[in-house]
Each structure stands twice: as C-alpha cells, then as structure tokens.
Amino acid sequence: MTDANAQAPRTSLFAPDARTARRNNSEARFRLFGLISVTIGLAALVMLLSSVLFNGTSSFRQTMLELPVTLDAKVLDKKGNRNPDDLAKVTTIGYGRLISDALDKAITDNGIVVDGLTSKDVKDMISKEAPAQIRGRVLANPDLIGQTVSFQVLANGRIDGYMKGRVTLETAERDSNVSVNQLHLADALHEKGLLDMPFNWLFITAPDASELRPEAAGLGVAILGSAYMMIIVLVLSLPIGVAASIYLEEFAPQNRITDLIEVNISNLAAVPSIVFGILGLAVFINFVGLPQSAPIVGALVLTLMTLPTIIIATRAALKAVPPSIREAALGVGASKMQSIFHHVLPLAMPGILTGAIIGLAQALGETAPLLLIGMVAFVRDYPGAPPEGFFDPAAALPVQVYNWTQRADPAFVERASGAIIVLLIFLVIMNFVAILLRRRFERRW
Amino acid sequence: MSLSLLILIVLALGVAGYALARARVTAQANGDRRRLHSLIGYYGHTVFLFATVPALLLLGAWLLLQPVVIDGRVSSMLQPGDIPEGGSLSLVMSDVRRIANGLDTLVAQGQLTEAALTTLRTETADVRGQLGSVGIALGSDVQTNVLEAAKAYRGQQGTAQAVMAAVVLLASVLGLALSYKRLSPDFRARNVFESFVKALLIASSMVAVLTTFGILFSMLFESIHFFQLYPAKEFFFSLTWNPQFRGGSSLGIWPLLWGTLYVSFVALLVAVPIGLMIAIYLSEYASKRLRTFAKPAIEILAGIPTIVYGLFALITVGPFLRDYFAQPLGLGTSSSSVMTAGLVMGIMLIPFVSSLSDDIISAVPQSLRDGSFGLGATQSETIRKVVFPAALPGIVGAVLLAASRAIGETMIVVMGAGAAAKLGLNPFEAMTTITVKIVSQLTGDTEFASPETLVAFALGMMLFFFTLALNVIALIVVRKYREQYE
C-alpha cells in the first residue's frame, strides 16, 4: 500500500481538490493585491492633483468691483498744476476716500438697500490695496485727474472668499473682519453687475502682498525670480555638464582620479537637497558675501544640484552614439576632438537637451535649499533687469507657495494652491518639450 | 565700469583677436591656406580662447575674493565698543555695507557730493535721516566708527572695482598679444586649441569634486565651530531638544533622529509593499495596454515637486487624518503628525521603489520562471519563491535608496510633521525631524555665531553621512547583484 492510495478517491478530474483550490485562491489573491496596489498608486496621483486643482483654480478669478470713480481734482491736485511731486503727496488715504464715495454713490444710484449697513461696512468692502493701485495709475497718467474713470477695484479678501464659497453667512457672524451685512451687500452688488469675478491677471503679475491683504497677493516677483534662476542654471549647468561628460566619456583614462570623479557625481545625485542649501549658505553667502535671497545664489546652488542629472543624461546620450561614427570620422583624418565636436555631439544633442530640460524642471520645483539662502524673505519689489538684477532680492515660485502656507488667513491656502497650478503648468510644458524632443529627434541605431 | 560692460569688452577683444589672427596668418602665408599647419579657423579660435578665458576666470576669482578681503580690512577698523550689546560683528558689518550702499545712492542722486562725503560727520549731520530718504532704514543712529568704516568700505569697493577692471582687461590684452605673437604658418594651432579645450573639459569635470569638498568643508568647519561652543557629548547623548534664544539650550539630537526614523519608517511601510506590488503586477501580470498607461502615470509622481506633496499633506491629508482617525480614536488633535508626513512621503516614494524594482524584476532571467512553471508552480508561487528571492538583493538596494530619500526629504516634513521635538510612539502626534530643524534653525532670526544656529551644520553633517552611507550600501548591493546574471 502506498500513501497515494490512502487518500480519498477523487470524484472528478474537473473538480479541483482542496489543495489546488487553495493554491488557485492564493493566486487570485496575489493578483488582486497587485491590482489594488496599482489602483492605489493611480488614485494617489489623482487625489494629489485634484486636491491642488480643487483648492487652487478659484485663485485665477478675483472678485472686483466695477466702479466709476470720480478723480476729483480738488482732492488729488490741490494746487492745480499737475506737478508730479505735488501729486505724489496725496496718500492712499485720499484715494481710499474717493473709492468709498464712489461705492456709496453706486449703491444709492442702483437703489440697493441693506438693513443696518454702516458706512464702515461699505468702506471695508474695498481692499486696502485698491487705493494704492489707483494712485499708481493716476501718477502714471495725470491726465485722468478731473475725469470720472471706470475702475476695476479689488474687493476685500473676505468678500472674495464669500463669492468663492470659503466664507459663509454663518462663519461671517463669528468673524470680526467681515459682517453679514457686507455679504448681503455683495450679493446685491453682484446682482446689479457691479461686483464680478473676472480673470485674475494680478495673481500672475502682481508682487506679494502683506499678510492682511491676501486678495492682492500675486506671483509676479516669484515668477521673475524663478525665471532668472532658470536662465543662470541653464547657462551654467549645460556647458559645464556637457564638458564634464565629454571628458569622462571620451577622454578620461581609467585611473583613480577618474574613479573619484565618477563616484563623486553619483553621490552628489543622491545628496539630500537641503545639504546643498547649507553649502550655499556657508560658501556663497557667508564666505563669498553674495547678497541673501538673490537669484544668483539660488541659481548657483541649483546649478550644483542639476549638474549630476545633466551629466548622467549626457553620458547616456554620448554612449548611445555608435562607435562606427567616431571611427568613420577618425578614418577620414579628423582628430579625436574634431570627431567628437563635429559628429558625436550633434548626434547626441537631442538626448542631452532632454536631460537638461528634465534637470531644469527638477530645479524649478526645488524648495528646501532656497529656504536656507533667505528666499523666504518678503520681497515686494521686482528685481532689476539682468545681469545686475540677478543680485537683487527676489522670490521663487515654490518658496512663495511655502511662504503663503505659513500665513494665518485661509485665503492664502487658495493662493498657494493656485501658485502650485502655475508651477505645474510650467513643469508640464517643460516635460512636454522634452518628450517632443525625444520623439522627434532621437535616433535608434 | 559695470560688470556686464566689462564682460562684453573682454568678449569683444576675443572676437577682435579672432579676426586679427585670421588676417595675420593669411598674410604670412601669402593667401595660400595650404601652407598653414591647421585649418585657418583654429588660429582664430586659439587667440580667442587665450584672450577671453584667463581674463574671465580671473574676473570670477576676483569677484569671489574681493568681499572677503575688503570685509577683513574694514572690520579691523571697528572697535569692540562699536558692537552693540547682544549684537555681533557680522551684524555691524552688514550695517556698514548698507550704509555704504546708501551713500552711493545719495551721491548718485546728487544729494551729496564726494567732497561733502569726506567731511560728513555723525555729530554734525543727520546721517540716519538722509539714508532713510533713500530707503536705507537703520535701527539706531549711525556711530562715528561705523560711518568711517562705511566710507572706507565704499572707497575700497570703488578702488577694487577699478583695479579689477584694469587687471581683467590687462589679462585679456596680454593673452591676446602673447598668442598673437606666436602665430605663424607653422604654429600648430589645432593642437594648441585642442589641448586648451581638453583642459577646460577636465576643469568642468572637477566641479563635481569641488562641490563635494565644498559640502564637506563648509559643514566640517561650522560643525567644529559648533562643538567648540557646545559639548559634543550633550549633542550626541542628550534626550532633549530645547533651543533657547538667550543661551542655555539643550540640543540633543535624539528626539530629531527618532522623529526622522519614525517618519521614514511609516513612509517605507507605505511605499515598499505598494511599490513592490506595483512593480510585480506591471511586469508579470498587466496587459500591455495597462502597462503603457500605468507605468508613466505612476512615474509622474516622481516628477512632482515635493512642495506639492507638502501642501497636499498640509491642507488635505493632515485635516483628514485628524478628523477621521486621530480625534475619534482620541489619539491627538494635531493635523501635522508623523502619520501625515509618513503617508504623504510614502506616496512620493512609491515610484522610486516601483521603477527600480521593475527594472530588477525584469532582469531576472526568463529561464528561472520557465523552470518553475515546468515544475507546476502557479504564477504567484513562481514570483514569491523564485523571482522574488532572485531579485532580493536589488530590491533591498531599491529600498535603501528610498530610505535615504525619506531621511533627507525636507518640504513634506516641514509642512506635515510639525515642529515639536519629542520622543514618543503615538503616530498621530506632531514630531520633528533633522531636516525640519535645519530649516528652522537657519531661517530664524538668531545670531549666526550662536550654537542654536550652528547646530544646523552639525545636523546637516549627520544627515549627509547618514544618506551617504545608505547610498553606498545600496550601490554595493545592487552592483553585486547585477554581476550575478550578466
């Protein structure tokens, strides 16, 4: 008698025995786990992006009051000589009064009645930033004085929040910064078409604003600062990276020094980004004495971070050019340098540029090292024109996001998410260009 | 002379040198280019390089060293009494620089003549008010010595600029002249040019080495500085982290290290199983259509900047975990917690684990799978008992790389983990990490030379060596594994 005969006889070949069923079940389970994992990964991506989009898209619209403002010459130009120096003496308070008068007039003209509305309520409908903006317009164009000009005036941040659903009548009762009457007034103005939400160009062009004026905060300085940094990073890291790769890939002898360089590069690629920030602070700011929060310092740090990425991509691109190209060039009498610069490098260029763009995209989103070199500072002035402007204080897109998340007013969460959308749009464009380059020009040998 | 003008002049000299060189060798060869050793362009290129590169390198070096030298000379003018109570030399020096800039603006606007500037005295004029009118706001009145230092600073700055322009131009002209003199039809222009270029290539590849040295030395110097002010024993063995503005802080690394490891552990707990299963499913089970769609989609996660994850943790995951898990379970009321940061960081790490493991799993030879199938194993049994063990070293390497990312990650923990340094086990409590404290110690208003600021460098050093060790181990493991099947 063998063990096999001791088992119960099987009824049918088609009915799996218990062990097979168990094995098949475990197979199905394993597959399911795999599928669930893939789903989790994709769901995480969708949640991440939709969270940002959900919170941020509203920042591209801004509540504005459409008001005909009478630029009274008696208030703005007491001497009547249109002298810019005298005009500049009228502060924003004077302009603020003109705007609130205009709003008062608009309310009575349109027959809007809200019970218990005080004049302070009306005045606070308008953003504290609005007078400054109109003052800027008038100083730039004194001919406006004496006319009644239709302005789009920024509404207060809480009114903006109400229009976007962030502030409700219930929260307004508990909020000392906004009254329920103001919200009723906003509804009435909206009905009459005086209060609207046009596309928010100021969000993209205006500089940052103070903690109390989220409605006026914009990305202008940050975008400019990031652009400056990207220009310097590209100008520095592409030539240096390509030169280093050419040496390592084509010329370097197999020795200790070459090994050292290679190990260094692969290590630098894995060093945490904040360590580069420490390097920037210690070397570029404390030792060399470059100014804090200047694009040049940020760019130097980001260049050092981007170099390994570019070098690795360039070496792969150079390696992909078949040796027959080099040999053919050498065969017709070119020197080694000529064969590389005239033949190999142009053929490797699409790969190199793709790597460079991906490196730049990484650099654009990098935040931590920039925090350490002082780019968190509050900067309201646009940096000057390059190259001197590279040394002026500026902000950077990702740092601006971080900055806004540190502020108390919830309106800044919307701004931060909006800024991320802008950042992601830039990244998508850059990656799209990289993919296009690769598709269009990459050769398979 | 402005910097851009100087650079333009040097470049113009180079271009002129190029044209001159071509003209000269053509004339020397009587217009017969066949008599030249190299192609005619190489003569021009050589002169161009000699005229521009040394001069521009000199310019760069000068710009780097000038502030160091001038600061040193000017700060020696200041007396110990000029440094206010609680201030430091570096703060006074930054005032000096700002005053010097303000004086520059005043002179440029014509509010102050050079002659008036030399006789300007703090006793007789309202210097602070004047500077305020050009946007230089000072906290206190300008002291005599500080004003003198600022004047000297301004003077030396001006002199240095002029000397720099002269020296750079001289170097450019000298390079041009010397190389121009050497030109002749027999001059081996191509060889010289190529050696020059090769030297430039070598110099470029040295940048990576210099960066590493820069990182090491900057952190080493400041760490040594820190350990002179603060006992190393306390730093490495104290269990409390409690920096104080007025000194007497305790700066033990353990609470930070614990927070770092705890957050990283949670992150890996999320990322490793999910990432690994994704890799297995996509490489072994998924249809081609799903693979071409899902693989790049998951890799997008790796391309999203960490600040986006940070914001996600701050506004979505944190409040969600607090409202639905921490508060109902009575575990805490903080939206920033180890769990928040760990979860979000885990999502960030998924693509690292999955794409690395995917490569490794695909590299396992098909023959191993075929053998296992031939013995009657199901697909999952093959994966678990044959493919996975064969790929294990590579997967361990991938996990180590992910761990080093997790330890060095900054923005997610800054925005998601909180700032309270404590040793605790509750994952719904706020804790802090090494990177968070580096950011907060270096972006605060504390004086630079205090141990509270310098500790950031020691922390950075720890972080650097930690991640370096993990990376090296990972590389060794991965490399060893690759040799096995090649």
Quick: pLDDT tens for B416-474: 988 888 888 888 888 999 999 999 888 876 666 788 888 899 999 999 999 989 988 88
Of the candidates A206, A226, A118, the one whose C-alpha atom is nearest the C-alpha of residue A154 is: A206
Contact B432, B259 (CB under 8 A): yes
Chain B nearest CA to A141, separation (Å): 24
Q: Does A441 touch chain B (CB under 8 A)?
A: no
Residue in A with minimal Cα distance to B301:
A45
Quick: pLDDT tens for A226-236: 999 999 999 99
Q: What are phi and psi of A389, to 5 degrees?
A: -65, -20
Instruction: Please provide the distance, in angstroms rounded to a whole number, between the alpha carbons at the two ends of chain B.
Output: 61
Kindly determine whether residue B463 and residue A388, on different chains, have CB atoms separated by under 8 Å.
Answer: no
Kindly determine whether residue B408 and residue A275, on different chains, have CB atoms separated by under 8 Å.
Answer: yes
Q: Which residues of B touch A283 (CB under 8 A)?
A: 214, 218
CA distance B280 to B412: 28
Q: Which residues of A touch B308 (CB under 8 A)?
A: 48, 52, 365, 420, 423-424
The DSSP element (H or E) to which A66 belongs, if any, is strand A64-70
Of the candidates A132, A203, A192, A122, the one whose C-alpha atom is nearest the C-alpha of residue A156 is: A122
Q: How many CB atoms lie within 10 A of CB A407?
A: 17
DSSP lists the bridge partners of residue A195 as A65
CA distance A399 to A273: 14
Chain A nearest CA to B271, separation (Å): 10
DSSP lists the bridge partners of residue A68 as A150
CA distance A110 to B136: 48
Q: What is the mean pLDDT of residues A154-162?
A: 86
Quick: pLDDT tens for A325-383: 999 999 999 999 999 999 999 999 988 999 999 999 999 999 999 999 888 888 888 88
Q: How many CB atoms lie within 10 A of CB A171?
A: 15
Residue B159 amino acid letter: T
* B21, pLDDT greater than 70: yes
**ipTM of the complex model:** 0.89
Q: What percent of chain A has pLDDT over 70?
A: 97
- Average pLDDT value over all residues in chain B: 86
Chain B nearest CA to A247, separation (Å): 6
Report the pLDDT value the prediction gives residue A1, as an integer from 0 to 100: 44
Of the candidates A372, A292, A399, A405, the one whose C-alpha atom is nearest the C-alpha of residue B435 is: A372
Regarding beta strands A64-70 and A195-196, do their DSSP bridges make them parallel or antiparallel, or are they unpaired?
antiparallel
Chain B nearest CA to A188, separation (Å): 32
Which of A163-177, A221-235, A384-398 reaches the highest mean pLDDT?
A221-235
Angle at CA of residue B196, ends B190 and B199, nearest 5°: 140
CA distance B61 to B69: 12
Helix axes B451-485, B189-229, angle to 10 degrees: 130
Kindly determine whether residue B67 and residue A252, on different chains, have CB atoms separated by under 8 Å.
Answer: no
Give the contacts of A415 (CB within 8 A, at least 6 positions apart).
A59, A203, A214, A217, A404
CA distance B406 to B12: 50
Q: Which domains does chain B have, with CATH numbers?
A: 3-187 (no CATH), 241-485 (1.10.3720.10)
**Number of A–B residue contacts, CB under 8 Å:** 259
Quick: pLDDT tens for A202-249: 888 888 888 888 888 889 999 999 999 999 999 999 999 999 999 999
CA distance B395 to A410: 43
Edge to edge, what strands does the sheet with A195-196 contain?
Answer: A148-154, A64-70, A195-196
Report the pLDDT value the prediction gives residue A25, as an integer from 0 to 100: 93
Contact B75, B93 (CB under 8 A): yes
* B211, pLDDT greater than 80: yes
Chain B nearest CA to A360, separation (Å): 12
DSSP lists the bridge partners of residue A218 as none
- In a mutational test of the B interface, the residue from A275, A283, A297, A314 whose CB has the highest number of chain B CBs within 10 Å is A275
Q: Does A380 touch chain B (CB under 8 A)?
A: no
Give the contacts of A300 (CB within 8 A, at least 6 positions apart).
A232, A236, A280, A284
Quick: pLDDT tens for B154-210: 888 888 888 989 999 999 999 999 999 988 888 898 999 999 999 999 999 999 889
Q: Does A43 touch chain B (CB under 8 A)?
A: no
Report the pLDDT value the prediction gives residue B175, as an integer from 0 to 100: 92
Quick: pLDDT tens for A51-68: 999 988 888 988 888 888
CA distance B165 to B175: 15
* B135, pLDDT greater than 70: no
Q: Which of A174-183, A210-219, A359-368, B287-296 has the lowest mean pLDDT?
A: A174-183
Closest CB from A246, A367, A376 relative to B201: A246
* B106, pLDDT greater than 80: no
Give the contacts of A165 (CB within 8 A, at least 6 positions apart).
none
Closest CB from B194, B221, B274 relative to A40: B274
Q: Does A239 touch chain B (CB under 8 A)?
A: yes
Chain B nearest CA to A402, separation (Å): 7
Q: How far is CA B12 from CA B15, B16, B20, B172, in A?
A: 5, 6, 12, 10
What does the CA dihedral A94, A96, A99, A100 come to, rounded to 10 degrees?
-110
Kindly determine whether residue B438 and residue A267, on different chains, have CB atoms separated by under 8 Å.
Answer: no
Of the candidates A408, A363, A376, A401, the one whose C-alpha atom is nearest the C-alpha of residue A56 is: A401
- Average pLDDT value over all residues in chain A: 87
Q: Does A25 touch chain B (CB under 8 A)?
A: no
Q: What percent of chain B has pLDDT over 70?
A: 91
Report the pLDDT value the prediction gives residue B445, as an integer from 0 to 100: 66
Report the pLDDT value the prediction gives residue B157, as an integer from 0 to 100: 82
* A440, pLDDT greater than 60: yes
Residue in B with minimal Cα distance to A359:
B303
Chain A nearest CA to B384, separation (Å): 10
Chain A nearest CA to B285, separation (Å): 8
Kindly determine whether residue B277 and residue A33, on different chains, have CB atoms separated by under 8 Å.
Answer: yes
Chain A nearest CA to B472, separation (Å): 8
Chain B nearest CA to A145, separation (Å): 28
Q: Does B375 touch chain A (CB under 8 A)?
A: no
* B236, pLDDT greater than 60: yes
B411 or B242: which leads in pLDDT: B411
Quick: pLDDT tens for B59-88: 988 887 887 788 778 877 777 766 666 556
DSSP lists the bridge partners of residue A150 as A68
Of the candidates B233, B224, B256, the one whose C-alpha atom is nearest the C-alpha of residue B243 is: B256
Closest CB from B311, B383, B443 relative to A371: B443
Closest CB from A55, A274, A365 relative to B305: A365
Q: Does B174 touch chain A (CB under 8 A)?
A: no
Predicted confidence band of residue B340 (pLDDT cuts 50, 70, 90): very high
Residue in A with minimal Cα distance to B62:
A288
Q: Which residues of B touch A247 (CB under 8 A)?
A: 198, 201-202, 204-205
B142 or A311: which leads in pLDDT: A311
Q: Which residues of B touch A430 (CB under 8 A)?
A: none
Residue in B with minimal Cα distance to A30:
B380
Closest CB from B68, B212, B285 relative to A287: B68
Kindly determine whether residue A278 and residue B456, on different chains, have CB atoms separated by under 8 Å.
Answer: yes
Q: Which of A78-87, B301-310, B326-335 has the lowest mean pLDDT?
A: A78-87
Kindly determine whether residue B208 and residue A311, on different chains, have CB atoms separated by under 8 Å.
Answer: yes
Closest CB from A35, A55, A368 relative to B411: A368
Kindly determine whether residue A424 and residue B304, on different chains, have CB atoms separated by under 8 Å.
Answer: yes
- In a mutational test of the A interface, the residue from B71, B105, B205 whose CB has the highest number of chain A CBs within 10 Å is B205
Quick: pLDDT tens for A405-418: 988 888 899 999 99
Closest CB from A24, A41, A413 relative to B278: A41
Q: Which residues of A touch B202 (CB under 8 A)?
A: 247
Q: Burial, A413: exposed, middle or buried (Cβ in 10 Å; 0-12, 13-18, 19+)?
A: buried
- Helical segments of A290-410, H only: 295-320, 323-331, 336-338, 345-365, 368-372, 397-405
> B127-136 long-range CB contacts below 8 Å, 24 or more apart?
B127/B99, B130/B102, B130/B106, B131/B99, B131/B102, B131/B103, B131/B106, B134/B102, B134/B105, B134/B106, B134/B109, B135/B102, B135/B105, B136/B98, B136/B99, B136/B101, B136/B102, B136/B105
Contact A160, A182 (CB under 8 A): no
CA distance B293 to A98: 59
Which of A101-105, B124-128, B295-299 reaches the highest mean pLDDT?
B295-299
Q: Does B312 touch chain A (CB under 8 A)?
A: yes
Q: Which residues of A touch B352 (CB under 8 A)?
A: none
Q: Which of A25-29, A68-72, B346-350, B394-398 has the lowest mean pLDDT?
A: A68-72
Q: Does B244 touch chain A (CB under 8 A)?
A: no
Chain A nearest CA to B191, separation (Å): 9
DSSP-based three-state secondary structure for A151: strand
Contact A79, A86 (CB under 8 A): yes
Chain B nearest CA to A214, separation (Å): 17
